[in-house]
Structure 1
Amino acid sequence: MRIAVQYVNVTVRDVDEALPFYRDGLGLDVVSDVASGDHRWLGLGSPEQPGFALVLSDPHAGRSQDDGDAVEELLVKGMLPGPIVFRTDDLDATFERVAATGAEVMQEPSDQPWGPRDCAFRDPSGNHVRISQA
């Protein structure tokens, strides 16, 4: 039996505002763009992981008004689950590319006592994103 993660949802305030961070900064490709009413689910993927997508959507996408309001409140407080952790083969170059998007730098590249060399950002919505050297 084989099992693999197909997609992971990431809630953002505004899909268009988040796109440069994930596409231009992290180098992910847009693989799907699905709209429904005022909401949108934007799938981003990488050739290194075919069949996997990171799906960006707003707090109210696919949720009731009350549930969307609750998720939005947690997003604003920076309290959604995280971090999202990416792996790269060139941490310094990836750090520079992500920083160029204007993302908030939480930690510059550094060696961690538990092993990896990594860095950390907040995406435009405040989600905690870490990038680790492969």
Structure 2
Amino acid sequence: MNLTIHYAFLPHTDPEASLAFYRDVLGFEVRNDVGYEDMRWITVGPAGQPQTSVVLHPPAADPTITEDERRTVLELIAKGNYAALTLGTDDLDGTFGKIEASGAEVLQEPTDQDYGVRDCAFRDPTGNLIRINQLS
């Protein structure tokens, strides 16, 4: 069996702020930008890796969920407890500096973890946890 990760999904509550973060700060390519009624799905991904994409989607867009469920999802997103993404870089300190300079919320500066990984953490404009690992 040969499987690859094709899409990962992260919610957004402000498409323009999310686009600016993923495109302008992280340097991801915009692969698709689709609107429907008052909602917007934006597909981004790292340059040179067309097989892997992140779809930034309106939270709780599923028409089958209730308003109470929709509120719960939005509360979890606001607390940063709904979605996460881990990225890798060969220059953790340089990447951290660039993202920090953008004004993104820093959760953890570059740290050598007890479990053998050097990483840092931010929140994207929606509140999603973004961890970045130093690649060997």
TM-score, with structure 1 as normaliser: 0.88
**Structure 1 residues 81-120: aligned runs within 5 Å:** 81-82=83-84, 84-120=85-121
**Structure 1 residues 1-134: aligned runs within 5 Å:** 1-63=1-63, 64=65, 66=67, 67-82=69-84, 84-134=85-135
Gaps of at least 5 residues in structure 2 are none
Root-mean-square deviation (CA), in Å?
Answer: 1.7
Once the two structures are TM-superposed, the CA of residue 60 in structure 1 deviates from its matched residue by 3.9
**Identity percentage over the alignment?**
44
Letter matched to residue 82 of structure 2: L
| Distance 1:17-1:7 versus aligned 2 partners, 3 A rule | same
Give me the whole-angstrom Cα distance separating, in 2, the residues matched to 1:81 and 1:48: 25
Q: Is the 8 A contact 1:25 1:99 kept in 2?
A: no
Give me the whole-angstrom Cα distance separating, in 1, the residues matched to 2:3 and 2:22: 25
Over residues 43-95 of structure 1, what are the superposed CA-to-partner deviations in whole Å (9 max), with x where a residue is unaligned? 0012342221111122143445624333212212222043x110001111111
Over residues 3-32 of structure 1, what are the superposed CA-to-partner deviations in whole Å (9 max), with x where a residue is unaligned? 111101101211111222222222211111
Give me the whole-angstrom Cα distance separating, in 2, the residues matched to 1:62 and 1:30: 23
The answer to which of 8-17 and 51-60 deviates more is 51-60
Equivalent residue of 1:94, what SS? helix
Letter matched to residue 18 of structure 1: S
TM-score, with structure 2 as normaliser: 0.87
Between the two proteins, the alignment pairs up a number of residues equal to 133
